[in-house]
Every structure is written in structure tokens, then in C-alpha cells.
Structure 1
């Protein structure tokens, strides 16, 4: 894993800004930086967690490359648990690039791989795998609520619960081992009852975590929400109103939107991945036909569908076809243009869909949007989000491993009930313990570690 190398990367977004930060980590981080850094202080001798002003100088030519601040953090009291140096340069592409190129020039320091700083924090035992995965969730958070959930996980909220579960199973395994080694003191009925009791307690804890999975996954990834309807009913206007920016072109000409436009928006703390689709209708226009097909594909993949209808016109056959296709899906019916005289008979709509999923609104006058927020919250979060101290499970890997551990414990309980020997029952309990350990990263393959950290941005 090349964990002994000294690595460097730009840790801030590329572009213009007040400052840019280059992070260097490894046993040679301080020494290699000291070769280039000119200051009143020798940073090889300064205390840890101190900041120093100076200049980066090209040792070959003596040219001053940059004026900057250097922060020294010695391991293990650093993010990677190694010696870390952070160079805060002027923002902009040129300044930070020149400093990084000079650091890499001698060949002792290499460019970091995506996520390698966080990977080293994991490999060096500073954080476990659930905390490492939470770092990428922090970066990708699309709402305050999603950020709070990721922050709790990064601080170890999920880790503590899983470690407590594993400790409980270790105690159970120890009890079983004693009874296997000293069978003359074992009372089978009492041991089986104890196994069932402790396994059931662990299953209850796992169920509490899995109960948050659906909501946690939504907070992490957002609700894929397709805005669909006939051309010119106000879909693009709704997207613009929700994101509060003119992202989609709006005209009176039917078929203006030719492709799927994607934007993230937060409504009442709920992240929505909005897909504004081309108007779905029969058309001979080749380009519009492609847009309609993409709209149908987005419709199939959506978690939530906002079907928009124009109440200032009678119900059309295309409207009826869409409503028929969407029966049984998570749908909110938006009766738009209520600021105009109503020409649509809504009885047919009310027969097909629950009244509490039908909203009358005027995107032009921005009325009814609050009700939309309430309906979405009720559909996906039983009316409200849970309390802030709840530990959410949002990662598919975590959900899968918790499910497997639960099944192993159920297998152990079933085995005791049908009289399977206790040494065989022990295998199921141990498998559950190992699966929870895999969740934390105690026993995980190198390929999985590489796969997880390859999703990180460079410099994190």
C-alpha cells in the first residue's frame, strides 16, 4: 500500500480563492518542506501544532516562489497519525501549482492517490472504516441534516454502537466456550436460553439501526425526483422556483426542454435530486423524441414523481396515459396554474390518487410550494424527521452487513431450538461477530479498501 512513502496533494478546490492548501504527510514531510521553506524558525525543530510565516524558495535558483504560512503537526496527533505539514498559499491555480511541483521535483515526495490521506488515517488506526466513509459523506452532503448525520458518524456514533454489539457477542462466545470445555457443568436448557436471550438483544439493537436505513439513505443520497407532465405545463418553471435560479429555459413554446436537467435542492431539510424532464407526448420531431425517451427513463428510475397538470386546460389523453402509468408509485399530483380560470374537471384525478397527494399551486405566484414540502416530508419521513441524536445508517455496505449479522444470529437461535449441538451454534454467533467487525474494517480485503477510498477526491 506504499504506506511508508511521503505524499502530497492540493487539499482545496482548484480555482480562485483567498488561500489554497497543500497537505504533505509521511515520515519525511517536515524535512522535505524544510528544504524549501525559509523562515525565522527551523520547522524541523519547532513544536507540533504551530504555524510559521515565511517563503518557499527554489533551492537551485534562489528564486522566491511563494509567500505563505506553514502548519506543522507531528504524528500521531494528526489526521493521518503521521507527520503532517500543511502549506497555505495564495489562492489561484498558478501559486499552488508552483509550490506543489517544487515539492515533487526531487522525487522523495510523491503525489497522493484519491483518498490516500483518509486511507492512512484508517490504516494507522486513528479512525475505523465507518468513520473514514463518513468523511466522503461530509464532503458530498447536500443539506444541513445530511451533514449532521455524517458528522455524527465521523465522530464515531455508529462505531460505538457496533463495538458495543461486538462486545456483547464476545461475552456470549466466551460463555459458550466455557460450556464446550467443561460440559460436565453445563445445563443445556439454561445455555440455550442464554444464547437466545443475548442473540435476541443483539438483534433488537441491529433492528433499531436498520430502522433508520431508509431515511438515512435518503439523507445521504437524496430523493431522486422526476418532474413530469405534458409540454408547457410549468415543469421548468417549478424547477427554477425550487432552486431559486433560472436553470431551465422557460418559453410559451411547447417542447422547449429537450433533455433531462438535473439539480439538487433541499426542501425542509430533505435533499431532492430534481430531474426536469422533457414534456412527454407523441411527437414527430426527432430531437424532441429523444428527449421524451430520456424522460421515460428518468421516470422509471425516480423515487418520487411530481406529475404536473395544467388546470387551466381540460384533461388531455396524454395526461390520462401518464396517470395510468404512475398508479402504485410514489406520486404527488401538482395542479398548476391555479391563478388562471379552471377548465379541468379534477374528479377523475381524485378517483385515482389520494386527496392528500394532490396539491393545487401556482408556480408563477409561488403558492402551494409549502404544501409540497409537507407532503414530501410525510411520504418519506412519516411526517417529520427523527430527533437529532438518532444514529442513522445510510451506507449500503453497512446496511448489508448489519442484515447479514442479524440473519446469522437468527440462525443461531433457530439452531438452539431444534437441538443443534452448542459447538455448531457457536459458529453462527462467531460469523455475526466477524460481520460486524467487517463493518468497522477489522477484517476487510485490500481490494475493498481501495474501492472505498478511490471514491474520495484528491487531497482528502
Structure 2
């Protein structure tokens, strides 16, 4: 968005296009409250609903509408705003938009421009704008709750608090540099260190749980992996409750990934069935196995399905579990045919015994218990155990940078390194400021607002 364009009066349809009972057209800018006169209607009083007939350039009636005006800065965008509540006829909406476009000084808004103007006028902040994006895109109740919390300041408040505390410590430190000859408290340096350590500990807790907010926002990537003919595709179909994947007794049937979207405990889940693992000379099958390994590496959760009737299933599970550092579940399939007792082999692995379960994907036995265990895992993801929930990679990267600089400041303990400590404080402050959109923000803003609808 160009700065020059921000001075123009913009308009856009704020409700979904198509036929409806009511449609809302928003206008924002210096000429917003002149719109009624441009349609041959009487002016409106601020914050009062007025019923008016709108006319086109030839004086023909367009529609019987409701007009509501807001005088800036007491408006959503901080500018003068007019809302036109018209009947939701596509023909009516199109005629009003065309009439507005023909007026001098008015233009159609760009994607997200109303919210961008609100940001520029101090009516919102970048984290709240990101929360609004997430609210518009929310598919689950949990996503909605997280998005509205961020809009209300759940991210901004703790980050702003940390930033102010670091600045306070920086001020004290710079005072000790500038007034080195004065009598300052002997405990000043220790007080600063204790405060920074407290801030750092809080940040580290937030960083440790940073993937939780991203998982809720973007969804959980769950990969089904395992040896050939273990029953992965049957398990996928059972969990999806529909025949999403082809099932066959022939080894190597699944050669490419099959994805199914689910919702578990309020979190959207993409469940991916991958090619079965085995030693093979078939280049196509080898590529499928390679892709399965890549998918497991990038997954948030890996479900390993093995054929429990085959000797060596535990070793196979341990081998596949080494593909990923994510949470691992092992489903020992074909319970109805009798299982080989090899669970003791898994003791040497990194999979908790509670994550190893026996099932029969064909008959459906054991799947209810597994789904309950999966829901518990999701519920643990949902727990807000930290003072801050990070929902984007940029939040996590900036917070990690701030943690790095504060840790570096604590490692600089010699009295003659005070200026270096101050520099680390400044760098940490800048990293936190990036989360709040106070520096280096233009590229981030353009990316955020490009995902909005035109009238938002």
C-alpha cells in the first residue's frame, strides 16, 4: 500500500458477495460523510441510523437504505466513516459501487486497507490485526478463542511488559555508565541481573510452548507411517470414517501421500497416509518411501502402524520412530489375528508405553481407546500454561532473538563490559519491538493485509 493512497476516500463491500437480505458498503476517509449528498440524500447525524432513498446520477431511485455515519477519530478506522446498509441484491450493490467509483476523490479499497488505516491511526496494533486475520479464517471454536484473545491483547500485553522492563533495566545501566563517578547503590548491578533473569525465564517458558499457538492456528500435521501391508490405509479410513485411501493386500499399494482433514479437540488435523516402508529396488516405490520419511520429519505427530502378527514389528517401529523428533504413537495392528509379544523391545526407544496401543483397524477394535489418547494429547496442546501464546513463526523468531540477547547480557559479567551489556539490552528491545510492529514492519504489514478481504 502506498502512503499517498492513504489520503483518498475508500469504499468496498464489507459483506460477502452474492444475494442476501442485507449488504453493507463501507466508506472511509475525508469525503465519507459527503456520500449521502452525492446520492441525492439528506446528510446524517453521527452514530445515528438514518433511513434514506439513494438516487443515481440521473435521479433514478437506487434503493431504500440505512445510513450510519461516524466522525473520526471515534470510528473503526480513526477517519470519518459511513456505512450503507442496502438490500443484498447484486444489481443494487453493483450500481452503488459504480456510482461511488465515478465520484472524484473516491476509489475502491485494497485488501485489508480499512484495517491498515485503523493501524496507522492507532486504533489497533499489528498483533490485533493478525488476530483479526485468524478470526476471519477460524474453522474451529478453539481457533476462534485464540484469535479473539490475541485481538484483545493476549500477545501484545506480555511482550510490551517485557519490552518496558528491559528498557527500564537499560535506563538504570546507562545511568551507571553516565554517572560512574556518582555514588550509586552497590546492589544496582545485582538488581538489574535479577530482573533480567526473571524476564528471561518468562520468555523461555513462552518460547518452549511456542508451537502450541501455531498448531491451533495452522492445524496439526499428523503422519501415518509404517512398513508395507501393516494396515496404514485401513487405519486412515477408519479414523476418517470413509474410504479415503485404497486398501489392498498387495504390498506397495500406497505410493504417494493421501491426506484427510479432521478436527480433534478443536484443532484442525491433516492426517497423511504415506508409502509403506521396506527394502525395494523399485525407483517409484523408493521415492514414495523417501517422501514418507520427509513427511515424518516435518510432522507434529507421527502414528506408526505395524503388523503385530509379524516377528520384528518392534524393531521396525523403532527404526521408523528415528525419522522424527515429534511425538510418536505406535499402533500394533491386526490384534484380531494374534500379536507377537515384543513390547519389551520398545523399552530402549523414546516412545512412552502409554503411546503403544493394540488395535484391529479392520474390525475397529482399539480405535476408540486410541482416539481418546489422541484427544488427550490434543487437550495438552490446548492448555495455556504460559503468559504468552505465539501464533506465527515471526513471533517465535523475534522472541528467540530477544532470549539470545538477554542470555548474552547475563554472560557478560565483568564490570568493564557494561556497555556491551547495554548493547545486548538494546538488541533485545528491538527484537520485542518487531513482534509489536514498531520497527521493520512494512513487509509484515503488506503480507498480513493482503490476506484480508477487500472490505475489511
TM-score normalised by structure 1 residue count: 0.80
Question: Which residue of 38, 41, 44 maps to 1:35?
Answer: 38
Is 2:237 aligned against 1:218? no
Equivalent-residue separation in structure 2 for 1:298 and 1:274 (angstroms): 11
Map of 1:138 onto structure 2: 135
Is 2:13 aligned against 1:13? no
Equivalent-residue separation in structure 1 for 2:341 and 2:55 (angstroms): 74
CA contact (8 A) 2:259 2:271 kept: yes
Structure 2: segments with no counterpart, 5+ residues: none
Map of 2:450 onto structure 1: 454
Deviation at 1:267, TM superposition (A): 1.1
Is 2:404 aligned against 1:407? yes
Secondary structure class of the residue paired with 2:222? strand
1:169/1:300 Cα in 2 relative to 1: closer, same or farther (>3 Å)? closer
Map of 1:45 onto structure 2: 44
1:262/1:20 Cα in 2 relative to 1: closer, same or farther (>3 Å)? farther
CA contact (8 A) 2:57 2:99 kept: no
Map of 2:58 onto structure 1: 60
Equivalent-residue separation in structure 1 for 2:173 and 2:233 (angstroms): 63
Deviation at 1:309, TM superposition (A): 4.9
Secondary structure class of the residue paired with 1:443? coil
Equivalent-residue separation in structure 2 for 1:120 and 1:247 (angstroms): 48
Equivalent-residue separation in structure 1 for 2:319 and 2:283 (angstroms): 25
Question: Which residue of 3, 6, 28 maps to 2:6?
Answer: 3
Deviation at 1:213, TM superposition (A): 0.9
Alignment of structure 1 residues 366-405 onto 2, 5 Å: 368-376=366-374, 379=377, 383=380, 385-387=382-384, 391-405=388-402
Most deviating of 320-329 and 398-407: 320-329
1:318/1:109 Cα in 2 relative to 1: closer, same or farther (>3 Å)? farther
CA contact (8 A) 1:237 1:250 kept: no
Equivalent-residue separation in structure 2 for 1:69 and 1:189 (angstroms): 69
1:126/1:359 Cα in 2 relative to 1: closer, same or farther (>3 Å)? same
CA contact (8 A) 1:8 1:110 kept: yes
Equivalent-residue separation in structure 2 for 1:168 and 1:6 (angstroms): 40
Deviation at 1:439, TM superposition (A): 1.8
Question: Which residue of 419, 438, 455 maps to 2:415?
Answer: 419
Equivalent-residue separation in structure 1 for 2:180 and 2:340 (angstroms): 78
CA contact (8 A) 2:254 2:275 kept: yes
CA RMSD of aligned residues (A): 3.9
Map Cα deviations across residues 201-255 of structure 1 (whole Å, 9 max, x no partner): 321332243243122221122211123454793637745754x6x5836677978
CA contact (8 A) 1:137 1:220 kept: yes
1:297/1:71 Cα in 2 relative to 1: closer, same or farther (>3 Å)? farther
Most deviating of 344-353 and 297-306: 344-353
Equivalent-residue separation in structure 2 for 1:239 and 1:19 (angstroms): 42
Map of 2:322 onto structure 1: 327
Map of 2:432 onto structure 1: 436
Is 2:271 aligned against 1:274? yes
Deviation at 1:151, TM superposition (A): 1.3
1:299/1:403 Cα in 2 relative to 1: closer, same or farther (>3 Å)? closer
Deviation at 1:376, TM superposition (A): 3.3
Secondary structure class of the residue paired with 2:49? strand
CA contact (8 A) 2:13 2:23 kept: yes
Equivalent-residue separation in structure 1 for 2:89 and 2:224 (angstroms): 39
Equivalent-residue separation in structure 2 for 1:18 and 1:6 (angstroms): 27
1:289/1:173 Cα in 2 relative to 1: closer, same or farther (>3 Å)? closer
Equivalent-residue separation in structure 1 for 2:312 and 2:104 (angstroms): 69
Is 2:126 aligned against 1:129? yes
Secondary structure class of the residue paired with 1:215? helix
Map Cα deviations across residues 74-133 of structure 1 (whole Å, 9 max, x no partner): 322222222223334444755544433332233532222222222111111111222122
Map of 1:120 onto structure 2: 117
Alignment of structure 1 residues 188-337 onto 2, 5 Å: 189-228=186-225, 230=228, 233=231, 235=233, 238=236, 241-242=239-240, 246=242, 248=244, 260-277=257-274, 298-309=295-306, 314-315=309-310, 324-327=319-322, 329=324, 330-335=327-332
1:28/1:388 Cα in 2 relative to 1: closer, same or farther (>3 Å)? farther
CA contact (8 A) 2:39 2:55 kept: yes
Structure 1: segments with no counterpart, 5+ residues: none
1:407/1:360 Cα in 2 relative to 1: closer, same or farther (>3 Å)? same
CA contact (8 A) 1:72 1:84 kept: yes
How many residue pairs match? The answer is: 445
Secondary structure class of the residue paired with 1:183? coil
Map of 2:98 onto structure 1: 101
Most deviating of 208-217 and 255-264: 255-264
Map of 2:354 onto structure 1: 356
1:110/1:421 Cα in 2 relative to 1: closer, same or farther (>3 Å)? same
